Chain A
Amino acid sequence: MIIDPVCGMEVDEKSQYKTMYKGKVYYFCSSYCLKEFQKNPEEYLRGGPKGMPHGH
């Protein structure tokens, strides 16, 4: 199962929220998580998912 790197939720590969970073595809549960990731990908890739909630 694919994990949303921002919130740690399980996501489907068919998710419309996705991006490519350094040649690898990442999937997200919502546009919110996608935008968070795009702001600072390294933070989530190094530190792992931050869970819920994340600074709403």
Chain B
Amino acid sequence: MVTEKKEELRITDKEEQLKIIGMHCATCVMSVSKSLKSVSGVKDAEVNLATGSAKVILSGNVRLKELVKAVRKAGYDVATEKFTVKLNVNPEEMPKIERKFENVKGVVDVKSNPGLGIVSVEYNLESTTPEEILKEAGVKGEIINEQRSERSVLYEDFYDLLKRLVIGITFTPLTYLFPFFLGILLSIPVQFYSGLRFHKGAYRALKNRTTNMDVLVSLASNILWFSGIFLHSTFYADASLLITFILVGKTLEAYIKAKMSSEIRIEPYKATLKDGRVVNSNELKVGDIIIVRTGERIPADGIIESGEGEVNEAILTGEQKPVLKRKGDNVLAGGILVNGYLEIYVTRNWDRSYIIQVIESVRGAYNARVSIQNLVDKVSSVFVPIVITLSALTFLVWKFVLGYNLYSSLLFSVAVLAAACPCALGLASPMAMLVSVRRALKRGIIIRDGSILEEIRNVNVAVLDKTGTVTEGEYVIITKKEFINGAFDLATIAESRSIHPIAKAFHKIMNDGKVEQFEEFPGRGIYARVNGNDVIVGSKDFVKSNCDWNVEDEGDILICVNGRAGGIVNIRDKLRDDAKRVINYMRERGIRVIIATGDSSNYADEIGKELGVEVRKGLTPDDKAELVKELRENDNKVMFIGDGINDAIAMREADVGIAVSSGTDLAKSAGKVVINSLDDVIGLFEQAKLGVRKIKENLAWAFGYNTVIIPIAAGSFYPTIYLPPEYAALAMGFSSVIVSLWSLVPI
């Protein structure tokens, strides 16, 4: 009957309602509907323009994530929300918990951080709520919000463990000192209060049909405690010592986790308003004027209203050398005014400040998974049952094959339970990831997706944007020629509306005029109506296809006035100092380097020649994305390094997208990694190498530890080496600590 019901459920169609963002016409409806229907398992999709929603009928086992991905790929978006939850589970249980969340209706994506016990869930607003998701998944946890920060939850966890440890330390020695009955009484607080976490954890795991470290600890301590009572032995005291020893390791581990989490958090700074009032930086409003004196930290993002001084922005850029800032310059919260006096006009709220954006981004990176983790997850899922079997075998061999007494056989088998540690396996990769991402941040490299640490090592093609990445991005006009008088002036006025680096070369020559209409075509050029004239300025192809170009001269930039050749301009841009070094470094790693640029001038070829790399010029942002796509289709692992905003599409298309940030708005940058200068690419490769090595070393520690300690605990080397259960437990607790600490060692 039950089977029948299950069958029935499997074939029933499911329905999912999505809120689509960005649709404004019938074509959009067609595009969204087409992309949804292209996902295998989607039976039908009804997209409604008026309500901005889509009803999707699913016949197969389709992940909501696939639907969202399809909509996003078509250039639209799905309204989703995220929530973070702190779970009281062991790292090795995380994959199973993740799967539970993934199977709940309405869940788009799940990312977990086994290291911190935190899960972040992206869900469909239209079909569920965080509470419903937790209920459906059958998982108990605390939703983290502003009132209950991740840090406070982690510290609470640490204090809870500490409390239980103190009880353990207080009572355990007494259980050995006092005679049998009193000893048992004194062991009760340790066994059933200090050890309650493990018993509860074991019960929860078994109820969820999984196994974890708690099962081993609970089983080991309970076997000892109860057999102590029945066999009239001091095993109950050994059980107390076992729990206390495990708690030592667990408390230390919880402390490291809490400490790691709080280090990435930034408390609001103190800010002095111009009228002398001192407030917290999160109370500042846009438009406030604040005063910063020598030695003080800049409390908000803003523009210098008056004064000047040297600012150390190492916290944001990794660069220790202070930068001189004057009236009109941007300053960012977090920088330190080394010397000088500044009055700053606040331009951004604390929550939107650059430093908070960085922290938010980096937090996301912690949750990344590396490929080796799949193997670890598989091992973890069968680890505990195998250990329990080994423990039972140990007992049987010692008791019935080797003929030892009940006491000794029991001690060996319990020692096996107490020594094996799946926790270290679960912690190995996330801890190393956490440390690597943070270490990169200290160098000014913002890693927004930790998985790139692994991916970057396989990169064999690097596509680099030219302007602003390989070159300084500051164009200067070196020659100009006019075929129509005043054409250059008209072009200058038109370009004054553009923020493109080439346009800035024109800006340097001040000019007044009225721009009636303005249109920019990214990567190609601009059209403007200036003082009643139609002006087109841009690349050769763009201008020539829109103009009656009747002259032979060709420059880097063409100017067309009222449909006729107006003039030409030749431009130059300086190569960055670090470009050669970085490109050589990549070539030494066997990476093919291509410069992709929208610039169609001869200068692009010169740059290519100087650096000795391929050049693809005159490309629009779409062309660059197409190039990346093409390279990937030919089995290449492609890295794209470019400007954070203009090259967003190519960056998303690449395996590793790196944005060289020139702006201060991180949210706009599409790269998985954000760097301050091209030079940071070398740092990133080094960090990736170290990070992946750490993951491997941690796993070697964890696997190696279990391989060595389990046979010893089972008594294979008895009587030369022998491990009583309580000391096996101590070793178990410390294996996780070792893995955490080893992640922190910078070698």
- Co-complex (A, B): yes
Binding site for B on A (CB under 8 A): 4, 6-7, 9, 11-12, 18-23, 25, 29-33, 52-53, 56
B230: CB under 8 A from chain A?
no
B31 interface neighbour in A18, A19, A30, Cβ under 8 Å: A30
B563 engages A23 (CB within 8 Å): yes
Q: In chain A, what residue has the closest Cβ to B542?
A: A20
Cβ-defined partner of B26 (8 Å) among A9, A21, A31: A9
Find out whether the CB atom of B536 lies under 8 angstroms from the CB atom of A25. Answer: no
From 566 to 612 in chain B, residues with beta carbon under 8 angstroms from any chain A beta carbon are: none
Quick check: A4 and B546 within 8 Å, CB to CB?
A: no
Q: B34 an interface residue at 8 Å Cβ cutoff? A: yes
Complex Cα distance, B28 from A32, in Å, reads 8
Q: A9-B27, A20-B542 are in contact. List 10 more A-B contacts (CB 8 A).
A: A4-B27, A7-B25, A20-B519, A20-B527, A21-B545, A23-B546, A23-B547, A23-B560, A23-B563, A29-B26
Q: Can you list 6 A-B contacts with CB-CB less than 8 angstroms, sorted by A residue number?
A: A20-B521, A29-B24, A29-B27, A29-B28, A33-B27, A56-B30
Known: A20-B527, A30-B75, A53-B30. A9 touches B521 (CB 8 A): no
* B563, A7: Cβ atoms closer than 8 Å: no
Collect the chain B residues with CB atoms within 8 Å of residue A22's CB: 545-546
Q: What is the 8 Å Cβ interface bit string for chain B, positions 9-32, against chain A (1 contact, 0 not)? A: 000000000000000111110110
| Chain B, Cβ-Cβ closest to A29 | B25
In the complex, are the beta carbons of A52 and B27 less than 8 A apart? yes
The smallest beta-carbon distance between B65 and chain A, in angstroms, is 23
Q: Give min CB distance, B253 to chain A, whole Å.
A: 50
Q: Does B296 contact A (CB under 8 A)?
A: no
Encode B116-142 as 1/0 by CB contact (under 8 A) with A. 000000000000000000000000000
Tell me the complex Cα distance, A52–B25, Å. Answer: 11
How many angstroms between the C-alpha atoms of A18 and B525 in the bound complex?
A: 12
Q: Which residues of A contact B519 (CB under 8 A)?
A: 18, 20, 25
A residues within 8 A CB of B534? 23
Q: Which residues of B pack against A, CB within 8 Å?
A: 24-28, 30-31, 34, 75, 519, 521, 527, 534, 536, 542, 545-547, 560, 563
Alpha-carbon gap, A23 to B563, bound state (A): 7
Q: Which residue of A lies closest to B560 (CB)?
A: A23
Known pairs A22-B546, A23-B547; A11 contacts B527 (CB<8 A): no
Question: Is the pair B536, A32 in contact by a Cβ cutoff of 8 Å?
Answer: no
CB distance from B33 to the nearest CB of A (A): 8
Q: Given the complex of chains A and B, what is the CA–CA distance between A49 and B192 in angstroms?
A: 78
Which residues of B sit under 8 angstroms from A56, Cβ to Cβ?
30, 34
Q: How far is the CB of B667 from chain A (nearest CB, A)?
A: 18
* Residues of A with C-beta under 8 A to B521: 18-20
CB-defined contacts of A12 to chain B, threshold 8 Å: 24
Docked Cα-Cα span, A33 to B225, in Å, equals 75
A51–B519 Cα distance when bound, in Å, is: 26
Chain B residues contacting A33 (CB-CB under 8 Å) are 27
Chain B hits for A9, CB < 8 A: 25-27
> Do residues A7 and B27 form an inter-chain contact, with CB atoms below 8 A?
yes
**Structural contact, B26 and A7, CB atoms closer than 8 A:** yes
Task: From B30, B560, B563, give the contact of A32 (CB < 8 A).
Answer: B30
CB nearest neighbor in B for A12? B24
- Of all chain A residues, the one with the shortest Cβ separation from B37 is A56
Which interface residue of B26, B27, B546 has the most chain A CB atoms within 10 A? B27
Closest 5 CB pairs of A and B: A29-B25, A9-B25, A30-B27, A23-B546, A52-B26
CA distance A7 to B34 in the complex (A): 16
A22, B527: Cα distance in complex, Å: 12
- Which B residues are CB-close (under 8 A) to A32? 27, 30-31
B624: shortest Cβ distance to chain A, in Å?
A: 16
Closest residue of chain A to B562 (Cβ to Cβ) is A23
Residues of A within 8 A of B24 (CB): 12, 29
Give every chain A residue within 8 A of B536 (Cβ-Cβ).
Answer: 20, 23
Residues of B within 8 A of A23 (CB): 534, 536, 546-547, 560, 563
Contact (Cβ within 8 A) B546 A30 = no
Q: Which of A22, A23, A53 has the most CB of B within 10 A?
A: A23
A35: min CB distance to chain B, Å: 9
Separation of A7 and B521 alpha carbons in the complex (Å): 21
Q: How far is the CB of A39 from chain B (nearest CB, A)?
A: 14
**Within the complex, what minimum Cβ distance (angstroms) separates B620 from chain A?**
11
**A12, B536: Cα distance in complex, Å:** 22
State A32–B536 Cα separation when bound (angstroms). Answer: 25
What is the CA–CA distance of A23 and B547 in the complex, to the nearest angstrom? 6
Minimum distance in angstroms from B332 CB to a CB of chain A: 29
What CA separation (Å) do A19 and B519 show in the bound complex? Answer: 9
Most buried by A among B28, B34, B563: B28
Q: How far is the CA of A18 from the CA of B546 in the complex (A)?
A: 14
Instruction: From known contacts A22-B546, A56-B30, infer whether A30 and B25 are also in contact, taking CB-CB under 8 Å.
Output: yes
Residues of chain B within 8 A (CB-CB) of A19 are 521
CA distance A4 to B28 in the complex (A): 13
B538 to nearest A CB, angstroms?
9
Which B residues touch A6, using CB under 8 A? Answer: 27
Chain A residues within 8 Å of B563, by CB: 23
B25, B27, B75, B546: the one contacting A21 at CB < 8 Å is B546
Nearest-neighbor residue (CB-CB) of B27 within chain A? A30
Within 8 Å CB of A20, what residues of B?
Answer: 519, 521, 527, 536, 542, 546
With both chains docked as a complex, state the minimum distance between the C-beta of B214 and any C-beta of chain A, in angstroms: 53
Rounded to whole angstroms, the CA-CA distance of A50 and B281 in the bound complex is 57
Q: Looking at the complex, which one of B30, B542, B546, B560 makes contact with A52 (CB distance below 8 Å)?
A: B30
Cβ-closest chain B residue relative to A36: B27
CA distance A15 to B316 in the complex (A): 36
Nearest residue in B to A9 (C-beta to C-beta)? B25
Q: How many Å lie between the Cα of A9 and that of B547 in the bound state?
A: 28
Cα-based distance from A25 to B26 in the complex (angstroms): 22
A19 to nearest B CB, angstroms?
7
Least Cβ–Cβ distance between A1 and chain B, in angstroms: 13
Cβ distance A8 to chain B, nearest Cβ, rounded Å: 9
